[in-house]
Structure 1
Amino acid sequence: MQPTSSPLDQLADIHLPDSVSWWPLAPGWWILIALIIVATIGFFIWRRRKQQNHYRVIAQQELAASYAHYQQSQDAANYLHSLSVLLRRTALTAYPQSFNASIKGQEWLNWLDAVCPTLNGNFSGELGQSLLSSAYQKNPQIDAARLQQLCADWISQHRNHRQKLSTSKKATVKKVAPVAEASHV
């Protein structure tokens, strides 16, 4: 008698497929990697821009504090002095290498207008002139609200040294060592 063989012994073994490799990645993973890279670069650009413009936030806070002090004391001469000092400090921060801190008078107002062309020359006009002439009067009459708004607009809209000035209104500034300003009350 012949030994009977089991039909199961005649079956071939199951061959498992090769394991799935990590490489090459599926298109979805490439999209995810690209999104992560773009988000990371965007975050660092946003953070750098925020840090570069932080001086504007501080200047706006000091401007608001000066205006609040003016509204309480009604001391226009001190208010005008604090505006002038604040604008110069902001300019020194925005243009550390090229701002000429010794410019004064009409040249100073022209420079303020040149670095912020969106204000359409308001510093060279009557409002800006009050910043110059009223500082030396005993009891100057000024439009403090409009002057406050003009300074706030300049702080928020001027171009800093990282931004290019328009060629038609390019400010002429000389390289000079910064001049120390007197602090205001």
Structure 2
Amino acid sequence: MTENQNESLLPLKSLHLPEMPSWFPLAWGWWASLAAVLIAVLLVWLFIRWRVKRMAPKKTALRMLANTKEPSSAIELLRQAALCYYPREDMAALTGKPWYVFLDRQIGKTLFERNQERWQQALYSREPIEDAQELVEHCVYWVENALPPQKGGVRRG
């Protein structure tokens, strides 16, 4: 019986399997996906770079204000920080009461205008004033909360 079984089999050749498909060249969908990922990474990198550059004056001002004890130095740092974000032509005209009103409008509190006399004494008097550290803290608060400005720039009454 075993001989008959061997004779009944047809003389077939062994199976030929096709070659495995290769990964390369990639289909257009993979190239489009790769391009989309690269563009997304580039946009995220550009946004982060823009944000770091935009926040640099604020961080510098806060770092310098941390080492400042004199209100006159603090208000000067505050003006320099504001000049980094607001138009120079708007900032140059602000002195005295309009300057303090501008500062208060940016934070929505009256920290500067109500202390206008103390600020003037700190800026123009040789005698030290009491609670000078409080005025410096007002400057720190302003930089933390007003910079960078929201869209629209200078807030007007």
TM-score of the superposed pair, with normalisation by structure 1: 0.62
Tell me which of 124, 128, 132 is aligned to 1:144: 132
Q: Which runs of 4+ in 1 moved over 4 A?
A: 32-37
The structure where helix makes up a greater share of residues is 2
Which 5+ residue runs of structure 2 have no aligned equivalent? 1-8
Aligned-pair RMSD on alpha carbons? 3.4
How much does 1:61 deviate?
2.2
TM-score of the superposed pair, with normalisation by structure 2: 0.71
Instruction: Call closer, same or farther: CA 1:8–1:18 in 2, change over 3 Å.
Output: farther
Instruction: Call closer, same or farther: CA 1:16–1:111 in 2, change over 3 Å.
Output: same
Higher Rg of the two aligned structures: 2
Which 5+ residue runs of structure 1 have no aligned equivalent? 1-6, 68-78, 173-185
More displaced stretch, 84-93 vs 35-44: 35-44
How much does 1:157 deviate?
1.7
Tell me which of 88, 106, 114 is aligned to 2:97: 106
Q: SS of 1:53's equivalent?
A: helix
Instruction: Call closer, same or farther: CA 1:129–1:42 in 2, change over 3 Å.
Output: farther
Distance 1:34 1:143 in 2: 57
User: How many aligned residue pairs are there?
Assistant: 147
Instruction: Call closer, same or farther: CA 1:129–1:12 in 2, change over 3 Å.
Output: same
Distance 2:113 2:78 in 1: 15
Q: SS of 1:138's equivalent?
A: coil
State, as a whole percentage, how many aligned pairs show the same letter: 22
The answer for the alignment partner of 1:177 in structure 2 is none
The answer for the alignment partner of 1:23 in structure 2 is 27
The answer for the alignment partner of 2:68 in structure 1 is 66
Residue identity in the other structure for 1:157: N
2:143 is equivalent to residue 158 of structure 1:
no
Instruction: Call closer, same or farther: CA 1:93–1:24 in 2, change over 3 Å.
Output: closer
CA contact (8 A) 2:54 2:148 kept: no
Residue identity in the other structure for 1:83: A
